[in-house]
Structure 1
Amino acid sequence: MEEKMLPEITARYETAMFTVNRKLNAMIRELTPGDLTAEQLSTLRYIRSKGSATSSELADIFCVGRSSITAIITRLSAKNLIIRRLDEKDRRVIYLELSEEGTRLTDEMETRILHLFSKYLVDFDSEEAMLFINVLEKLAKVLAETADGSGNQQ
């Protein structure tokens, strides 16, 4: 990419991502039960996709401190949406899994979110949709490879 294009591309990216994130997050919040925060829903969805997770893994994935994740886990546990399971080999390790209610709620939310997205994705043909997701995944990969977030490759 030509360096002279960088300011325009950066500005357009920031504007588009701000709008997309703000609008979609607001719509997802409307679909979410009132006692569940966006962070709690994201945590449930991540655990659902992996089967289980540790609090350290969640803190790393969501780029937050362990105390923030502990607060989210405590609230989800109080709502009976997750269960804690000790590792059989290392009792210091605690795995978080969805309870039956957590699984039911997460599956219901996945269906609602898919329905929400489908209303907007119909405006894209298959080629556009695949190009978009491929470019977004490439950006995600580049960002994941820079652990400090500085943009410097390790």
Structure 2
Amino acid sequence: MNNETAQLINRYLDAYQIVTRRIGARIREGIAEGLTSDQFTILRLIHGQEKCTSTFLAEACCVGKSSITAIVNRLVEAGLIDRTRDESDRRQVYLTISSLGSQVFDEANQNVSEILTPYLLHFDEDQIEQFISMFEKLADLMKESGGQEE
């Protein structure tokens, strides 16, 4: 690794640490009391799916199904999500957000938007789109090949 690459990696790591820690802390503050950031993430993912499964959640969160099951169980117990069995394949279980879950999610999501929006105002729309596109590309590389040439 050459010196320029090392400097870029260090710049990335420095910025990543500040952004993820500070934004993460602010988001945790903005999420409804009693709701963890992992639970908020699960609600957000279920909210965006017509038929959501634990397998989808595990893959989207890059964690094992047992971790998702524990979070889902707590959300079901809290009345925030519902489990529904598929009529044609009783083994298949779908997760949907309940009315209460939708209210809690909407409030938390609004709070998160209010936290992030002031930061975005420092950039024009093209810069935001470019940043998000590059970040999504990095996420795709992480999911697929780990950044290695195939």
Under a length normalisation based on structure 1, what TM-score does the superposition of the two structures give? 0.89
Q: Which residue of 2 aligns with 1:137?
A: 136
SS at match of 2:27: helix
Deviations 1:65-93 (A, max 9, x none): 22111110110001000000101221101
Q: Which residue of 2 aligns with 1:105?
A: 104
SS at match of 1:92: coil
Query: How far apart, CA to CA, are the structure 1 residues paired with 2:54 and 2:129?
Result: 33
Asked whether the equivalents of residues 81 and 97 of structure 2 are also in contact (C-alpha less than 8 Å), the reply is yes
Q: What displacement does 1:49 show?
A: 1.3
For these two proteins, the number of residue pairs brought into alignment is 150
Structure 1 residues 108 and 51, CA gap change in structure 2 (3 angstroms) = farther
Deviations 1:98-144 (A, max 9, x none): 00011111112121111111111111122221221121122122222
Q: Which residue identity lines up with residue 36 of structure 1 in the other structure?
A: L
Q: Which residue of 2 aligns with 1:42?
A: 41
Q: Which residue of 1 aligns with 2:29?
A: 30
- Unaligned 5+ segments in structure 1 are none
Deviations 1:38-76 (A, max 9, x none): 111100011111133111221121111221111101100
Name the stretch that deviates more: 37-46 or 9-18: 9-18
What percentage of residue pairs aligned between the two structures are identical?
Answer: 38
Q: Which residue of 2 aligns with 1:56?
A: 55
Report whether the alignment pairs 1:66 with 2:65.
Answer: yes
Give the superposed CA RMSD.
Answer: 1.7
Q: Which residue identity lines up with residue 104 of structure 1 in the other structure?
A: Q
Q: What displacement does 1:10 show?
A: 1.2
Name the stretch that deviates more: 45-54 or 19-28: 45-54
Q: What displacement does 1:33 show?
A: 2.2
Query: How far apart, CA to CA, are the structure 2 residues paired with 1:83 and 1:75?
Result: 11
- Unaligned 5+ segments in structure 2 are none
Asked whether the equivalents of residues 43 and 105 of structure 2 are also in contact (C-alpha less than 8 Å), the reply is yes
Query: How far apart, CA to CA, are the structure 2 residues paired with 1:61 and 1:121?
Result: 25
Q: Which residue identity lines up with residue 152 of structure 1 in the other structure?
A: Q
Asked whether the equivalents of residues 32 and 107 of structure 2 are also in contact (C-alpha less than 8 Å), the reply is no
Report whether the alignment pairs 1:123 with 2:122.
Answer: yes
Asked whether the equivalents of residues 80 and 97 of structure 2 are also in contact (C-alpha less than 8 Å), the reply is yes
Q: What displacement does 1:34 show?
A: 2.5
